[in-house]
Amino acid sequence: MYKQNKLKWIIKRNGRSVKFDQQRITNAIFKAELELGYEDIPLAERISDKVVEHLNEIYTNNYPPSVEEIQDIVIETLKQEGRTETAFAYSHYRNEQARKREQKNAQVITNDRIPYKLLWEEYVWNVEHNCDSVAKLNKIIEIGEFPELVAETEKLYTSRIEDAVAKILARKDAIKFVIVAGPSSSGKTTTTIRISEELKKHRIEFKSMVLDNYYKNLEEQPKDEFGDYDFETPEALDLELINDHFSRIMKGETVQMPIFDFQEGNRAEDTVPFKLEPNQMLLLDSLHGLYDKLTASIDKENMFKLYIETLSQIKDLNNEFIRWTDIRLLRRCIRDSWSRNYDPFMTVGHWHYVRRSEMQHIVPFIGTVDHIFNGSLQYELPVLKKHLWKYFKDVVKLYENKPRRFDAFIRAQRVHDLLETVHDVSDEDEHTIPRNSLMREYIGGSVYEY
């Protein structure tokens, strides 16, 4: 077995850390080979060693790999070792296991602890509107019905907003803090604004606080072995200041809310006074709204937690569901280019921090929320391709010969291959995509300021 292994932990699908066991990798490879009629244990061990070698080049015990990331590396390593059929068999087995987990009963929880019922509802809507696959999306574009799909999707999104608001209103006498949490680029900011607009219709005055303004200054952020900053951990936020402000806000006091300049990587000298009046609710838009230490100073009865994720149920040309995280990666590639001065090369290379933080600081707490919100948009893949396709061939080339960024290469290649199959669209003016659409949070042209 691989003698230089330094990894002690991995992150399971439920967010828990467990001991790393290379034998499980070897066994999985051997089972895939066995399915094809091969019984070569030394071969499975040799490829397992290559997988662990890649893992050791990419991850550390401070930043351990997730099960999903390990499986991706196993598949790519098998391909590089000329075991394409085994890679397919391993991938098939992986997908079958996922389906078995989802089919146990009506309350089944998927990899990211999302109730199966929500995914089924999304899939049924897609089937009814002929947009449950990339092939069908392409057909909609070919026959000129893309604007109609956009209109129907926007109606669906609006109904989701109304459902969430109804739950908040049912507890309006107790709630003072509404927390909109979820992984990066799931649509938290636009959803937060839209919820605010609906609450105003019910004579509830609403104030929004974006916790991104509470990031620590750049010089206070630790770097990893690549020299990158990890902004995805909740510890990148000034948790002490946040809780002090929350406590004082609940007492009716005025706090001086910081302003974070993402271009400079530091807080601005100016601050903004913030006070919550008795007839107001505070809405928090935060990647880490479910993290206990973030809201330690707030009583649970005074909070309403809403979790948002892109619960897309669209299949690629291989008849596999497109990964939610890949859609969010594409969204963020666009947004980072204008909000953080990052190009897609940097965003793709940084994405392993994003996913790891989600698995450690978001997924384990999804079961504590009051409402799960679906932030997917059925029409967005063609729009995302229009903005990003020109970059991804070069992104793949950048990472393909960098062993320490093997994970970034796998990610870039997978997204490149997906975009290659999708038709793009030229029509995204305000008559097609409304200016208050969640999609505008990424492609620009919104009526809202981000």
3-state secondary structure the chain: CCCCCCCCEEECCCCCEEECCHHHHHHHHHHHHHHCCCCCHHHHHHHHHHHHHHHHHHCCCCCCCEHHHHHHHHHHHHHHCCCHHHHHHHHHHHHHHHHHHHCCCCCCECCCCCEHHHHHHHHHHHHHCCCCEHHHHHHHHHCCCHHHHHHHHHHHHHHHHHHHHHHHHCCCCCCCEEEEECCCCCCHHHHHHHHHHHHHHCCCEEEEEEHHHHECCHHHCCECCCCCECCCCHHHECHHHHHHHHHHHHCCCCEEEEEEECCCCEEEEEEEEECCCCCEEEEEEECCCCCHHHHCCCCHHHEEEEEEECCCCCECCCCCECCHHHHHHHHHHHHHHHHCCCCHHHHHHHHHHHHHHHHHHCHHHHHHCCEEEECCCCCHHHHHHHHHHHHHHHHHHHHHCCHHHHHHHHHHHHHHHHHHCCCCCCCCCCCCCCCCCCCHHHHCCCCCCC
Q: Tell me, which fold does domain 116-443 have in CATH?
A: Rossmann fold (3.40.50)
- Residue ranges, comma separated, of all CATH 3.40.50.300 domains in the chain are 116-443
pLDDT in single tens digits along all 450 residues of the chain: 555 688 888 988 777 788 999 999 998 899 888 888 888 889 999 999 999 999 998 888 878 888 889 999 999 999 999 999 989 888 877 766 665 554 543 333 345 678 888 888 999 999 999 999 999 999 999 999 999 999 999 999 999 999 999 999 999 999 999 999 999 999 998 998 999 899 999 999 888 888 889 999 887 876 665 667 777 778 889 999 999 999 999 989 999 999 998 888 888 889 999 999 888 999 887 778 888 899 999 999 999 999 999 999 999 998 889 999 999 999 999 988 877 777 899 999 989 888 887 888 888 888 889 999 999 999 999 999 999 999 999 999 999 888 889 999 999 999 999 999 999 887 676 679 999 999 999 999 999 988
